[in-house]
A and B are shown apart, each in its own frame.
Chain A
Amino acid sequence: MHFGPHLLLAALEGLVTSAVLALTALGLSLVFGVMRIVNVAHGEFFMLGAVLAWAVSTAISGHPAIGFAAALVIAPLLVGLVAFLAEWLVLRRLNYNPESTIVATIGMLYIIQQLALTFYGPEARPVEPPFSYRILLPWFGYSGYKLSVVAASAILLVITWLVLTRTRIGLIMRATQYDRETAQAFGIPVERVYAGVFAVGAMLAAIAAVLIVPISQAHYLMGQDPLLLSFIVVIIGGLGSLRGTVVAAILIGLSDGIISMFFSPTLAKIIATLVVAMVLVFRPQGLFGTAPR
């Protein structure tokens, strides 16, 4: 293959990574922005979504599309429920103290990971894609499913944006994000908003995982990379900025796809992580964020 088509392939792969990353990072960013806490267990909610998608789709016989559709509904709902319970039982009692929350979510990370290992096992297992149409380009054929993942992610991002900016729920969320105490004084049930945001954040990660699982298999350790990449995206994109998150996800996804096609993936990760750490040190508000209030 010549350089041009090779680059196109790398870019397409990067775009799929970006799409999934944008959804995952958006979940992290919502929780980070509204609740001002870092959810270290976010990657495990992603993994849980993938594992549950496998469980649901193997439990349902018939055409793979039926199983996949069921997984796309059931897995995020279950993950949302788990997140809701975690918020209700643990984080609320910690009064959202940032440091205690980190320690508690690290605890959740270990618990979810171990339970997945115990009940799901150490194997990586595939989920059949709902359809296997290949789009034939002049140089190579490309999976139609992968492109539909990009489309689905774009639609979900637009929906989230509309909910945040155009609805009453979005207004309440933004009010809580802007000033928790004043929002509470105006009768906004802040605790319920927090529980909801935490659950929705986890559900976004779970949806991303269900979408990716027909491409890369479900594995109990698959939550690590999305967690780190989501952190990177949220930091580069700027705290609580939806546009920044999406732009950063595309940037990171594409460069990850292209760099790791031409260089060693470990070296690519070293460079990316180091660059982001430096961004955080020298420009803590992110590349697209506004200066801290």
Chain B
Amino acid sequence: MRDASPAKTYALHIGVIALLFALNFVLPDYHQGLFARIMALAVFAMGYNLLFGYVGLLSLGHAMFFSAGLYGAGLTVYHLGWGVPQAFLAGVACGALLALVIGLLALRTSGVAFMIVTMMFAQVFYLMILYFAAWTGGDQGLVIQQASRVISIGGVSLDLTNPTVRYMGALALFSVVLLITLALVRSRFGRVLVAIRENEERTKMLGYDTVANKLVAVVASGAICAASGAAYALLFGYVGSNFASIQYSILPLLWVLLGGAATTLGPLIGTLFMYYVTDITSGFTSAYLLIVGVALILLVLFAPKGIMGSIRERWLGWLP
């Protein structure tokens, strides 16, 4: 990674945010809704990327962090009648706490064992959602009523079911997380993470506490994924157990691989690309999983660096 002037890097990212902001006023209704969903899920991909791309830890259980946020926010609104901001924070806190516990356990393993352990914990989480169906709604899920999805600050009330408010909500979360990730990976901490990915033994020898650094990364990643889940529950008004299934652990992996692991904008590009590919192809065929499968195989075979990774390699060495 060549060094770039911070101004150029920040200009690019703020440019992307501005472009997304402008799109709100241009996009037709259907695509406006799709973009809101994509931005909320791109946050999930960014959280996954922090761990997979920068630390090199491949988890197959991130659906549990996403759904911890989803249920943390959804259940507090549904059962306790909490307001939107409190519920969002509850979701993020649930995800961070779960990530801390899982991190403490799973980081004792590495490589293939790490993937299987995370997958199993996620499976336990998924089964528990089904088991406590009395509260979680099981595989039917719960629908959060429109009335409980209104934020009122002072005299202004924001209705999250309004398409523009929803779009702006998703964009706000996306922008904050994008800038946080950017600052994080450019920081000293971010460089230690990359050092761990490249050679953990050497990093340890240089005097870094690699386990503590990895744990912080797991918690940060879990919290970001939970923020995505919490936002998803509040913006789209539905929580369901399929968001905790293994498929939702694999999707962020796919999005990140497609967009480019260890790039800040890759997760957005990957999510956007995959969503539109499925959206367009679903006009011709219902074989949505086939496309995911073929995409995964072609990616690992021919473009293991993804879209942004390839662009960085060929033309723009300064991309973060």
Contacts and interface: CB of A to CB of B under 8 A. Distances in A.
B296 A266 contact: no
B165 interface: no
Contacts of B58: 99, 102
A266 B130 CA distance: 8
Interface string B150-170: 000000000000000000000
Given A98-B111, A266-B131, A281-B105, A107 B296 contact: yes
B75 interface: no
A213 B48 CA distance: 39
A11 interface: no
Contacts of B290: 110-111, 114-115, 118
A138 to B, nearest CB: 37
B287 interface: yes
A110 B296 contact: yes
B124 A277 contact: yes
A231 B130 contact: no
Interface residues of B, number: 37
Contact of A281 (B109, B130, B296): B109
B300 A284 contact: no
Contacts of B115: 38, 102
Chain B CB within 10 Å — which of A102, A115, A117, A264 has the most?
A: A102
A284 B109 CA distance: 8
B293 A277 contact: no
A66 interface: no
A94 B301 contact: yes
- Describe B's contact surface by its main secondary structure: helix
Contacts of B106: 281
B250 interface: yes
B241 to A, nearest CB: 11
Contacts of B120: 228, 231, 273-274, 276-277, 280
A199 interface: no
Contacts of B179: none
Given A106-B250, A276-B120, A114 B297 contact: no
B18 interface: no
Chain A CB within 10 Å — which of B123, B293, B295 has the most?
A: B293
A93 B131 contact: no
A99 B128 CA distance: 28
Contact of A98 (B60, B112, B301, B304): B112
A104 B109 contact: no
A267 interface: yes
A104 B297 contact: yes
B297 A90 contact: yes
Contact of B294 (A107, A270, A274): A107
B282 to A, nearest CB: 13
A63 interface: no
A137 B127 CA distance: 37
Given A266-B127, A284-B109, A107 B293 contact: yes
A113 interface: yes
A89 B199 CA distance: 31
Contacts of B112: 38, 98, 102
B144 interface: no
Contacts of A284: 109, 113
B123 A107 contact: no
Nearest to A235: B116
Chain A CB within 10 Å — which of B111, B115, B124, B297 has the most?
A: B297
B296 A104 contact: yes
B123 A273 contact: yes
A281 B108 contact: yes
A282 interface: yes
Contacts of B299: 103
A117 B257 CA distance: 26
A273 B130 CA distance: 15
B117 A280 contact: yes
B224 to A, nearest CB: 22
Chain B CB within 10 Å — which of A90, A94, A102, A110 has the most?
A: A110
Contact of B300 (A104, A269, A282): A104
Given A102-B58, A277-B117, A284-B113, A94 B289 contact: no
B121 interface: yes
Nearest to B107: A281
Contacts of B124: 270, 273-274, 277
A158 B115 CA distance: 32
Contacts of B294: 107, 111
Given A103-B253, A266-B127, A273-B127, A114 B293 contact: yes
A100 interface: yes
A114 B289 contact: yes
A100 B290 CA distance: 18
Contact of B297 (A108, A273, A276): A108
A185 B279 CA distance: 51
Contacts of A266: 127, 130-131
B121 A277 contact: yes
B34 interface: no
6 A-B pairs closest in CB distance: A110-B293, A107-B296, A111-B293, A107-B297, A277-B120, A114-B290
8 contacts: A107-B293, A108-B297, A110-B292, A117-B289, A273-B127, A281-B106, A281-B108, A282-B108
Given A111-B293, A274-B124, 11 more contacts: A100-B304, A106-B253, A106-B293, A111-B290, A111-B297, A114-B293, A115-B290, A270-B124, A274-B120, A280-B109, A281-B106
